[in-house]
Chains A and B, each alone.
Chain A
Amino acid sequence: MRRALKNTFRLTPVPCLRRIPLSRRTVLRGLFAGATVSVALPPLDIFFDTNGEAYADGTGFPKRFGLWFWGNGILPEYWTPLGTGEGWSPSPLLEPLAGLTNEITVISGLEVKVANLKPHGSGPGGFLSGTDLKIAGEDETFRAPSLDQLIAQAIGGDTVYRSVEVGVAPGTGGRSYNGSDSKNPPELEPKALFERLFGASFTAPGEEAIIDPRLALRRSVLDSVMADAASVRDRLGQGDRERLEQHLDAIRDIEKRLIKLETEPPSFAACNRPSIPFDYPDIDGRPQMDARNAIASDLIAMAYACDLTRVVSIWHSDPVSDVLYEGASAGHHQLTHDEPGEQIQVQGIVKRIMGHFGTFVDALRNIPEGDRTLLDNCVILGTSDVGFARTHQIDEFPILLAGTASGYLKRGVHIRSDIKENASRVPLTLMQAMGMPVASFGEGDAYVETGLKEVVA
């Protein structure tokens, strides 16, 4: 039944097939699958559009957004690059990115303009959601969605996953919020991440769509679940209704995902099935951060390349993360407070984290899209929870950009603010770079209406 419908669908000439999965193999397979009517092959240029190959100039690929967050900030004194504009030279802490200065933009000197009430908490809340952190005793939550989710709501609907959240350090909880008290937990284990993205539900380009009557039955079960919810919804108060509504939205996403499984995957040239990752147990009480970061980088790069998602947040480590790095005499957070002087060990850890950021950027750059790279069609925001960790300041906030959002942004410049300008200008600029028609970001002192023109191409 489904098969027949599918063939009919294929036989309909459609002038623009950008989002409709169609490849030469698909069409030919349709021919041999018993269809008896004549087939009008679509013109070759459209044909190639779906293949990714016709984008010879590198345009037309979707834009992707990535948030790459690490805990415990920086040492501003050793962070700010020399020189502004293009050709910036790396500071000691940015040394690991020396080979990427033409790809990475550094924005230094901005301040997060919210009340800095909670060490390590107010910074990310203020920068990523533009609002004061909500604090109740030991509890804290963003008051508004985090930047990754604002973007996911706008552009995430077309892909298998609206957004993907990943944690690198074991136990990372992340700060991806759908709204107050509503967090998106990151995937922590490489194998679980692989299974979700590239496991049983993944079809690589050129592979047939999954023909399985169980998929439709699973959707009918979801309908039954929705009916259960509808029967009780009216009796709930406002807050509970919103909680349930988020649940039902997630079910609708599952339904869409099941439908996608029944159709051909998009045919991006660079997309292929990665190999299954290993387990990465701690060694001598220390997590294997290099390996965990590398595998997460590769899997996420491929998730972008296969257009499984266009919005990712990578939580390298949490605020206050006390990861015990190889060679360090104490946990990261403890060192930021207790190590005296120039904090050589903390510097070493920040450099190591920058190396991890570089690994991710490299993974994106190594994947071609047309005559550009995947990185060109991304914009990755690298940031943290504080500026100077020792004092929890949220001025001199660390902000890195990689990728140009398909040419919207400049490539590889250093922008410096000596007057502590509002950091909210960055999220506003990035939403605009992703094509969102937004005119402002943030609340109160963090409110802005103008983006950071200096980084726009």
Chain B
Amino acid sequence: MSCTKTSVFESTQHYLQTRRLCQLASVTGMRRQSKYYEASVWVVALCLLSWNMAGCESRTAVDLRPVAQDPTAFIESVTPGEPAIRKLTRDQFVSSIHDVFNADIAVPPTAEPDFVAGGLASVGASTTPYSPRGVESFEQVAYAVANLVLTTPEIRVRIMVCEPTAIVDSACAQQIIEPIARLAWRRILTEDELARLVGVVNSAAQTLSSFNAGLEFGLAAILQSPFFLYRFELGHSGRFTDYELASRLAYFLWNSTPDIELLDAAEAGELSTDEGLRASAVRLLSDPRARIGMRRFFIEYLHLEELLSLSKDPSVFAFYTTDLGESALEETLSLLDYLVFERDADYRALLTTTTTFVNPTLAALYDIPAPSSEGFARVNLPPSGPRAGLLGHAGFLSAHSHPVSTSVTLRGKAVRNILLCQDIPIPPVEVDTSIPEPSGTAPTMRERVAEHLESESCAACHLMTDPIGLGLENFDGVGRYRLLDNGHMIDPTGDLDGTDFLNARELGAAVASHPDYLRCLVRTMTRYATGRVETKEELETHITTLTNRFISQGAHVQGLALDIVLSPMFRRAGEGG
């Protein structure tokens, strides 16, 4: 059997071929319930799931030896080509306005949702257009923001750097508009552009007999411009320009617009040099905004936004409260922030640590004393308790469950898809996918799933996911610990690609030491930073080199972010520019 290397289903043929392999696996594997059938399925299944990452050999090909290679010393060829304009995500739209005006303005919501591609809204922002409905809302939000800026005394006093001497005062209008537009458009404006904006201010001021009203229209023009709403990354001679790098850097690390210092560095040409780029990246990483930016990365990476629209039946889950999703989101983000910034910890700790952050809602769910009467506090879970790391978080456990039950498939799929960057083939159509009801012969989910897996066409793919999910069955659909399922003892044992585990904690450790785990973070963070899906060549070269270095340096996430900034994938533009 041959395994091809690709990260997507490039064609129908490829997909069908995959499905045939999948079904073949089930047919050959499920014939007999001998001890060996599972092994034979696993051989095929492992191969199947690895072809998406790096071919069959990837199981052993990841080089774990320390490689202290300079991330800048990579191969030359990086040709991303299109696309070169990136929309602002919803979050970036708001944070950019906050940073342009240096104030937490209550930006009204736009009608433009994020569209996810390659697993990330940041990638979707490069591949999708703004919707007409979204553009319509940008116009209205621009005026609302302009109005807030001009009517909020603390903000107004800051932007009014001159006093107009007449209703139409071009010089003063320019003095006010120019620094705002520079921050909003992330570069120096041309004379034409500046003249156009001043023209807008003047004609509105004239018509409405008010310098202030003129400014309102000028600000609205800045915020509706494509130069605010998109990041133009056109490159020049195969490299991103200094200004483009400033934006890439700021949106990667802060999820927001560059500050004046960074724009100054760009203007001085500092970002074209290794030292200059490194210095700016280090500065941004040590700024509190990097912690906000990193939270955003993890929200996208771990699909945490789903937690804000959890659907759970409170009559089934006594510990479900409407603030559970929000609380669970904060737990996971707080732990990540703590590990990445306060401890600069090994990223594998995310799956093994007994440190976490809980509020009273989560303390009740976890059956531990609440550390404070309100808000979050850091706690250490019992060292021999059932719960450790991300796989024990209410967030992971509830997001990948059904509204009324757990889901061994969704949980297993999340581990493979999100944490290990492995694609699970799309389930074939026209098969009965039902899981049998609990019965005398199948009291717990394990037996029910086993019956389910007797269906040949389901088995191969579900064997990739369900055994992982069965390891988490001690946690119900909102993450409450339980010993029994349907009155019978839960057996959470299993193995993950050859590593045995006895329970959820050991499963977490097995995921942490899985060869794809750290590589997956590297791949995803690189996508997030560059706004595109890597090519197959880049996966084998740059992503592999970054991964090896990440591992050899102790798996520090801040260090990885810095390495990504310095890597050619971040700095080299397509040939078009």
Flag B307-319 by CB within 8 Å of A: 1 or 0 each: 0010111110000
The answer to whether A187 has its CB under 8 Å from any CB of chain B is yes
The answer to whether A139 has its CB under 8 Å from any CB of chain B is yes
Distance from A252 Cβ to chain B, minimum over Cβ atoms (Å): 10
Docked complex Cα distance between A285 and B7 (Å): 37
Flag A235-248 by CB within 8 Å of B: 1 or 0 each: 11111101110110
Task: Judge whether B434 and A184 touch: CB under 8 Å.
Answer: no
Distance from A72 Cβ to chain B, minimum over Cβ atoms (Å): 13
Kindly identify, within residues 176 to 231 of chain A, every residue whose CB is under 8 Å from any CB belonging to chain B: 178, 181-185, 187, 192, 213-214, 216-218, 220-222, 224-225, 227-229, 231
Give the chain B neighbours of A243 by CB distance below 8 A: 83, 85, 128-130
Docked complex Cα distance between A251 and B16 (Å): 43
The answer to whether A132 has its CB under 8 Å from any CB of chain B is yes
Task: Judge whether A225 and B224 touch: CB under 8 Å.
Answer: yes
The answer to whether A136 has its CB under 8 Å from any CB of chain B is yes
The answer to whether A369 has its CB under 8 Å from any CB of chain B is no
Task: Judge whether A330 and B402 touch: CB under 8 Å.
Answer: yes
Docked complex Cα distance between A243 and B85 (Å): 9
Q: Please tell me which stretch of A86-94, A111-119, A419-427 contacts chain B, meaning at least 4 of its Cβ atoms lie within 8 angstroms of it.
A: A111-119
Task: Judge whether A246 and B130 touch: CB under 8 Å.
Answer: yes
Task: Judge whether A116 and B12 touch: CB under 8 Å.
Answer: no
Task: Judge whether A119 and B427 touch: CB under 8 Å.
Answer: yes
Give the chain B neighbours of A324 by CB distance below 8 A: 311, 313, 403-404
Give the chain B neighbours of A437 by CB distance below 8 A: none
Give the chain B neighbours of A253 by CB distance below 8 A: 132, 136
Q: Are A322 and B403 also in contact (CB < 8 A) when A173-B113, A250-B130 are?
A: yes
Interface centre among B199, B430, B432 (most CB of A within 10 A): B430
Kindly identify, within residues 156 to 170 of chain A, every residue whose CB is under 8 Å from any CB belonging to chain B: 162, 165, 170
Give the chain A neighbours of B226 by CB distance below 8 A: 225, 228-229, 232, 244, 247
Flag B200-241 by CB within 8 Å of A: 1 or 0 each: 100110011000000001001100111101101010000000
The answer to whether B498 has its CB under 8 Å from any CB of chain A is no
The answer to whether A138 has its CB under 8 Å from any CB of chain B is yes
Give the chain A neighbours of B136 by CB distance below 8 A: 250, 253-254, 257
Docked complex Cα distance between A331 and B313 (Å): 9
The answer to whether B9 has its CB under 8 Å from any CB of chain A is yes
Distance from A49 Cβ to chain B, minimum over Cβ atoms (Å): 31
Docked complex Cα distance between A244 and B220 (Å): 19
The answer to whether B417 has its CB under 8 Å from any CB of chain A is yes
Task: Judge whether A285 and B320 touch: CB under 8 Å.
Answer: yes
The answer to whether B116 has its CB under 8 Å from any CB of chain A is yes
Task: Judge whether B130 and A116 touch: CB under 8 Å.
Answer: no
Neighbour of A284 across the interface among B9, B127, B207, B314, CB < 8 A: B314
Docked complex Cα distance between A337 and B402 (Å): 12
Docked complex Cα distance between A173 and B117 (Å): 15
Docked complex Cα distance between A250 and B434 (Å): 45
Q: Are A135 and B15 also in contact (CB < 8 A) when A246-B130, A250-B130, A254-B135 are?
A: yes
| B119 (CB) vs chain A CBs: closest residue | A138
Task: Judge whether A251 and B135 touch: CB under 8 Å.
Answer: yes
Distance from A288 Cβ to chain B, minimum over Cβ atoms (Å): 13
The answer to whether A51 has its CB under 8 Å from any CB of chain B is no
Give the chain A neighbours of B79 by CB distance below 8 A: none
Docked complex Cα distance between A232 and B234 (Å): 10
Distance from A423 Cβ to chain B, minimum over Cβ atoms (Å): 16
Task: Judge whether B111 and A217 touch: CB under 8 Å.
Answer: no
Task: Judge whether A338 and B403 touch: CB under 8 Å.
Answer: no
Docked complex Cα distance between A239 and B83 (Å): 7
Give the chain A neighbours of B221 by CB distance below 8 A: 221, 224-225
Task: Judge whether A116 and B118 touch: CB under 8 Å.
Answer: no
Give the chain B neighbours of A217 by CB distance below 8 A: 203-204, 207-208, 217
Interface centre among A165, A240, A253, A390 (most CB of B within 10 A): A240
The answer to whether B84 has its CB under 8 Å from any CB of chain A is yes
Neighbour of B309 across the interface among A170, A222, A249, A339, CB < 8 A: A170
Give the chain A neighbours of B470 by CB distance below 8 A: none
Docked complex Cα distance between A227 and B119 (Å): 34
Give the chain A neighbours of B32 by CB distance below 8 A: none
Distance from B193 Cβ to chain A, minimum over Cβ atoms (Å): 7
Give the chain B neighbours of A15 by CB distance below 8 A: none
| A230 (CB) vs chain B CBs: closest residue | B226
| A164 (CB) vs chain B CBs: closest residue | B133
| A214 (CB) vs chain B CBs: closest residue | B208
Docked complex Cα distance between A286 and B313 (Å): 8
Task: Judge whether B429 and A137 touch: CB under 8 Å.
Answer: no
| A171 (CB) vs chain B CBs: closest residue | B309
Interface centre among A122, A137, A324, A340 (most CB of B within 10 A): A137
Q: Is the interface of B mostly helix, strand, loop or mixed?
A: loop
Neighbour of A139 across the interface among B116, B139, B312, B437, CB < 8 A: B116
Docked complex Cα distance between A284 and B403 (Å): 12
The answer to whether A334 has its CB under 8 Å from any CB of chain B is yes
Interface centre among B116, B230, B427 (most CB of A within 10 A): B230
Docked complex Cα distance between A394 and B430 (Å): 9
Give the chain B neighbours of A246 by CB distance below 8 A: 129-130, 132
Task: Judge whether B427 and A213 touch: CB under 8 Å.
Answer: no
The answer to whether A329 has its CB under 8 Å from any CB of chain B is yes
Docked complex Cα distance between A184 and B133 (Å): 7
Task: Judge whether A393 and B429 touch: CB under 8 Å.
Answer: yes
Docked complex Cα distance between A246 and B128 (Å): 10
Give the chain A neighbours of B199 by CB distance below 8 A: 224
Q: Are A337 and B132 also in contact (CB < 8 A) when A228-B193, A331-B311 are?
A: no
Q: Are A391 and B85 also in contact (CB < 8 A) when A115-B12, A322-B402 are?
A: no
Task: Judge whether A221 and B131 touch: CB under 8 Å.
Answer: no
The answer to whether B382 has its CB under 8 Å from any CB of chain A is no
Q: Are A117 and B426 also in contact (CB < 8 A) when A135-B9, A136-B8 are?
A: yes
The answer to whether A392 has its CB under 8 Å from any CB of chain B is yes
| B576 (CB) vs chain A CBs: closest residue | A237
Give the chain B neighbours of A393 by CB distance below 8 A: 429-430
The answer to whether B1 has its CB under 8 Å from any CB of chain A is no
The answer to whether B423 has its CB under 8 Å from any CB of chain A is yes
Task: Judge whether A340 and B437 touch: CB under 8 Å.
Answer: yes
Give the chain B neighbours of A221 by CB distance below 8 A: 200, 217, 220-221, 224
Docked complex Cα distance between A338 and B311 (Å): 18
Distance from B199 Cβ to chain A, minimum over Cβ atoms (Å): 8
Task: Judge whether B434 and A182 touch: CB under 8 Å.
Answer: no
Give the chain A neighbours of B116 by CB distance below 8 A: 139
Q: Are A240 and B402 also in contact (CB < 8 A) when A229-B226, A253-B132 are?
A: no
| A213 (CB) vs chain B CBs: closest residue | B207
Known: A165-B133, A185-B112, A324-B404. 19 other contacts (CB 8 A): A135-B426, A137-B7, A139-B116, A217-B208, A218-B217, A220-B203, A221-B220, A231-B192, A238-B82, A242-B129, A246-B129, A250-B132, A253-B132, A254-B135, A284-B315, A285-B314, A338-B435, A390-B432, A391-B432
Selected A-B contacts with CB under 8 Å, 24 pairs: A117-B15, A117-B426, A135-B15, A138-B119, A173-B113, A182-B128, A182-B129, A217-B207, A218-B220, A220-B200, A224-B197, A225-B225, A225-B226, A227-B196, A228-B196, A238-B82, A239-B83, A243-B83, A250-B130, A324-B313, A331-B404, A334-B405, A339-B434, A340-B434
9 closest Cβ pairs, A-B complex: A250-B135, A243-B129, A250-B132, A392-B429, A237-B82, A136-B8, A246-B129, A331-B403, A330-B404
CB within 8 Å of A: which residues of B? Answer: 7-9, 12, 15-16, 81-85, 111-113, 115-119, 127-136, 139, 143, 192-193, 196-197, 199-200, 203-204, 207-208, 217, 220-221, 224-227, 229-230, 232, 234, 309, 311-315, 320, 402-405, 417, 423, 426-427, 429-437, 576
